[in-house]
Structure 1
Amino acid sequence: MSTTEAFVIDVRSLPRRAGSMTELHRTDVSDTRIGAEMVGIEAGTPVELDVRLESVSEGVLVTGTVRAETRGQCARCLDPITGEVNLFLTELFAYPDSETDQTTDDEDVERIVDEQIALEQTIIDAVATTLPLSPLCREDCPGLCPECGVKLADAGPDHGHDLIDPRWAGLAKFAGETPEADGQGKA
């Protein structure tokens, strides 16, 4: 990890002249988990940044890739799963007092604060739209048995439960009994 705060880039050395550019290759580590409930980048996982910082008239345009390993669990069988997220970023960070800064709502554009760009929220948003909400260990994962919780992939084809609808359960005591004829030949 770099000696700077995670996902924060100092842009003082980047000239404000439109067209000025620098590339940054570094690995940061997030202090918190990034991702959805079932899968994400765990806290402490290295996150590789490979980005280009380009001065434009209104700020700094950040483009590039972010790569990290993901961990989670299958939404059907709850087995642990691992993977990798590789996403592409494009984000404009507005200069203080630029036209973009003055005319755009706070939630609509990122800003440069104290000559620094904070990429963390941009990465969080990109990961959230990239990772599945219901990850699977494999596309045809059968999941868990809803009655006993056993993994259906391990249970075998003959796994099943004889379930009686609770509305009919009271009739189970009559199962196997034969109707007797009453005195008039009627059953």
Structure 2
Amino acid sequence: MDARKRMLIQVARHLCYALSLLAAYVLQTTPGFLSFGGIKPVLLVPLALCIGVFEGAFTGALYGAAAGLMWDIASGRTGGFFAIQLMILCFVCAVSVTLYLRGTILNVSLLTGGVMLLMCSADFLFGYLLHGYSGLGRLYLTRILPVVVFSAAVTFAPWLLTRRIAEKFVPGD
């Protein structure tokens, strides 16, 4: 296979990843989509982690930063708050899968749960806890933790999509 065809396959793969991130952003910000009791999953985080697992640490960090910026825009937080966290965590998760874990759906779901717990807890700390609002324990247990669990539970869809894209666009010999 010549270099031009290999490059076109790589461009097509990354275009599919970018379009899937955009689709996840649109679905995440669609009112009422996958909403159960006012709880919605964060679809960008599992997708970015899955891309990192299938593509490697550097690519995962780049897509993690892009997904984090999209989450910053969707949540109305300071630009870069989620982007920096997700970039670092996608890199760490991709390296841990490369060195220590297998990229199974269960492992990626557990990693998603851990990443979501860290990121949502940091958001809770800086957004609510430091301001001294009342009733924060109830808010954390009834709003934050269900989002973490729900996001980890829907990881199967981004994992299947990312695996399909990674297998479809493999440069042949």
- If the length of structure 1 is used for normalisation, what is the TM-score? 0.29
Q: Highest CA radius of gyration, 1 or 2?
A: 1
Where is the strand percentage greater, Structure 1 or Structure 2? 1
- If the length of structure 2 is used for normalisation, what is the TM-score? 0.31
Where is the helix percentage greater, Structure 1 or Structure 2? 2
